[in-house]
Chain A
Amino acid sequence: MPAVAVLIFLFLYPFVFNVWTSFYKYKPLVSPERTFIGFNNYAATFNDYVFQVSLKNTLVFTGTSVVLEFFLGLFLAFLLTSLPRGRKVATVLLLIPMLMPDVVTTLGWKFIFSPNFGVLNYILGFSVPWLSNPTFAMISVVIADVWKTIPFVMIIMVAGIVSIPKEHIEAIRTDGANSWQEFRYLTFPNLIPFILIAITIRTIDAFTKVYTVVYLLTSGGPGIATEVLPISISRLALLTWDWGRATTYSTIALIISLIFFAVFLKVIRRK
């Protein structure tokens, strides 16, 4: 089957190439020669300060943005589903941030955060060093990402809330349950599979695909304050051309992704 051949090229080849090259010293611009150095790349990587910061940042970014977008998305889902009218129009409007290309929304935020011409500091009434202070730079990246991914959680949660049969809601209400009891004993248990799916998929995507937002907003800076793994890998690959090291980073990231993947499989089986 041609598709299988293409898949092997697209998946197996990069995988093997990454693992294999990670055992070599290989800088294609310096010399075409590869020298086998065993696990030296791995030892160097784990001792590398940039790698440690990058891995830590990626995890901090993933954790904060997933938690924030989950609660905000859940709030919007409850708001939408309790509307007697106009739910469709409101849903479409709230989906728009997710439906705009990352490049567009990220640059939009860059202007909003701008120290001289940005509206955010003007509205706040005082000057926050959004993109130039290490902590605020990470906060800015999280804000720009959360803003874009809230609709993802929202729409899955809406699907979850609507899937609860009307008869069950009526039954629990005639039994005299208050709204907290209704949430605790009916809504929440029914939402669990949806919550798990939303959170696992968002965690995987936040961890692996945080490239565009960071690249355009801060390029990993100031210094390495917002450096994340995808940015580090692309820099090593095609700026420093240290392919031995780049493939080592890649292989480590691959292993972490596979762990997330195992969790994902568990989650969808559970449903």
Chain B
Amino acid sequence: MTMIKRVAILYVVLAAVLIVYLSPILWLFSQSIKRDVEIFAMPPVWFPTNPTLANYEEVFNFFGFGTALVNSFIVTGTTLVITLLLSIPAAYGLSRYKFPGAKILLLAIIACRMIVPPALLVPLFNVLNSFGLINTPIAIIVGHLTWTLPLGIWLLIGFFDTLPEDIEEAGMMDGMSTLQLIARVVLPVSAPGIAVVSLFTFMTSWNEFMFASIFATSYRVGGTAIAGMVSTYKIWWGDIAGAGLIFSVPMIIVAIVAQKYIVQGLTYGAIR
């Protein structure tokens, strides 16, 4: 009896926690299917009387959120491809060939993750501007790479270090070049490591706001488009809620699909 009682209490606590903790998101959803009259009503209208998808339509028709979403996919996709293309060989090299200064380089790599991102604003702006790249997706991508590349290399070094070297020796006997070795022998067994890096590159780039809002005011990605719905004379709450929920979906799906890699990525591989 007491056992059943304890379990019952647990689930009551869990239910209470879920309701309180997720209420801001439920509220966001409720706001997204209301018209302005009910959004700004006081006392608040908890459940919309006439649910409407008008906000969702407006987001695409009036704010051009479709383009912003496509831009987000372009930026995130490119960042992901470049991060993988550069971090896999770099991490492999650092893991397999111990050359002088390798250790310092390794420390410098992870130190990149600890930098205050705005400290990169002036130097990166300076370079991007001299190449005329401000207000292009490239500016945002370069900004994102400053976060994803060090993280990717660091995570993959940790992963490659755990791989036995025997399999590669067999490949070398067959006279493969280093790149062939990576492509045919190392990559197939590295799927989990690559999954961790991809998950975090995706989440970082999709979520990032500072570089996107400062380096490219006219090239709008999802986050900057939503922030743009706040203007000095009006805040389009219904549209922010609608666009915000749409914008959240890819990130939530990717993270849930790759759930088992979350802990490893969150802790830079410190916990496996």
Partner of B111, one of A104, A201, A215, A258: A258
Give chain A nearest CB distance to B128 CB in angstroms. 11
Smallest CB gap from B25: residue in A: A96
Which residues of chain A from 168 to 194 have any CB-CB distance to chain B below 8 Å in the complex?
194
Query: Does A216 lie at the interface of the complex (its beta carbon under 8 Å from any beta carbon of B)?
Result: yes
Query: Does A218 lie at the interface of the complex (its beta carbon under 8 Å from any beta carbon of B)?
Result: no
Known contacts A14-B120, A108-B27, A204-B114: does B240 contact A117 (CB below 8 Å)?
A: no
Give chain A nearest CB distance to B214 CB in angstroms. 6
Is A250 a contact partner of B119 (Cβ separation < 8 A)? yes
Known contacts A117-B39, A117-B40: does B18 contact A90 (CB below 8 Å)?
A: yes
Partner of A216, one of B7, B42, B110, B227: B227
Report the bound CA distance from A48 to B106 in whole Å: 36
Is A101 a contact partner of B21 (Cβ separation < 8 A)? no
Is B248 a contact partner of A257 (Cβ separation < 8 A)? no
Query: Does B93 lie at the interface of the complex (its beta carbon under 8 Å from any beta carbon of A)?
Result: yes
Give chain B nearest CB distance to A8 CB in angstroms. 9
Report the bound CA distance from A238 to B122 in whole Å: 8
Is A254 a contact partner of B150 (Cβ separation < 8 A)? no
Is A260 a contact partner of B114 (Cβ separation < 8 A)? yes
Binds A, one of B160-168, B189-197, B263-271: B263-271
Query: Does A261 lie at the interface of the complex (its beta carbon under 8 Å from any beta carbon of B)?
Result: yes
Which residues of chain B from 101 to 119 have any CB-CB distance to chain A below 8 Å in the complex?
105, 107-112, 114-119
The winner among B25, B214, B237, B271 for most chain A CB atoms within 10 A is: B271
Known contacts A14-B123, A211-B209: does B110 contact A261 (CB below 8 Å)?
A: yes
Partner of A229, one of B43, B116, B142, B203: B116
Query: Chain B: interface secondary structure?
Result: helix
Is A10 a contact partner of B145 (Cβ separation < 8 A)? yes
Is B271 a contact partner of A156 (Cβ separation < 8 A)? yes
Give chain B nearest CB distance to A191 CB in angstroms. 12
Which residues of chain A from 135 to 173 have any CB-CB distance to chain B below 8 Å in the complex?
147, 150, 152, 155-156, 159-160
Report the bound CA distance from A159 to B223 in whole Å: 31
Q: Total interface residues on A, using CB and 8 Å?
A: 85
Which residues of chain B from 248 to 272 have any CB-CB distance to chain A below 8 Å in the complex?
248, 251-252, 255-256, 259, 262-263, 266-268, 270-271
Binds B, one of A34-42, A62-70, A78-86: A78-86
Binds A, one of B51-59, B82-90, B169-177, B180-188: B82-90
Report the bound CA distance from A211 to B208 in whole Å: 10
Known contacts A11-B108, A234-B121: does B116 contact A119 (CB below 8 Å)?
A: no
Query: Does A30 lie at the interface of the complex (its beta carbon under 8 Å from any beta carbon of B)?
Result: no
Query: Does A99 lie at the interface of the complex (its beta carbon under 8 Å from any beta carbon of B)?
Result: yes
Smallest CB gap from A111: residue in B: B237
Q: Total interface residues on B, using CB and 8 Å?
A: 82
Is A101 a contact partner of B116 (Cβ separation < 8 A)? no
Which residues of A have CB within 8 Å of B120?
A: 14
Query: Does B71 lie at the interface of the complex (its beta carbon under 8 Å from any beta carbon of A)?
Result: no
Query: Does A21 lie at the interface of the complex (its beta carbon under 8 Å from any beta carbon of B)?
Result: yes
Give B residues with C-beta under 8 Å from A. 7, 10-11, 13-14, 17-18, 21-22, 24-25, 27-28, 31, 39-40, 42-44, 86-87, 89-90, 93, 105, 107-112, 114-127, 142, 145-146, 149-150, 153, 203, 206-207, 209-210, 214, 222-224, 226-227, 230, 237, 240-241, 244-245, 247-248, 251-252, 255-256, 259, 262-263, 266-268, 270-271
Offer 16 A-B interface pairs, CB within 8 angstroms, sorted by A. A3-B149, A14-B123, A14-B124, A17-B122, A18-B119, A100-B244, A101-B223, A102-B207, A103-B222, A103-B227, A212-B210, A231-B118, A233-B121, A234-B121, A251-B119, A258-B111
7 new A-B contacts, CB < 8 A, other than A209-B116, A238-B125, are: A3-B149, A7-B112, A14-B123, A156-B266, A156-B271, A246-B122, A250-B116
Give A residues with C-beta under 8 Å from B. 1-4, 6-7, 9-14, 17-18, 21, 76, 79, 82-84, 90, 92-97, 99-105, 107-109, 111-112, 116-117, 119, 122, 147, 150, 152, 155-156, 159-160, 194, 197-198, 201, 204, 207-209, 211-212, 215-216, 229-231, 233-234, 237-238, 243, 246-247, 250-251, 253-254, 257-258, 260-261, 264-265, 267-268, 271
The 3 A-B residue pairs with the shortest CB-CB distance, nearest first, are A3-B90, A250-B119, A104-B244
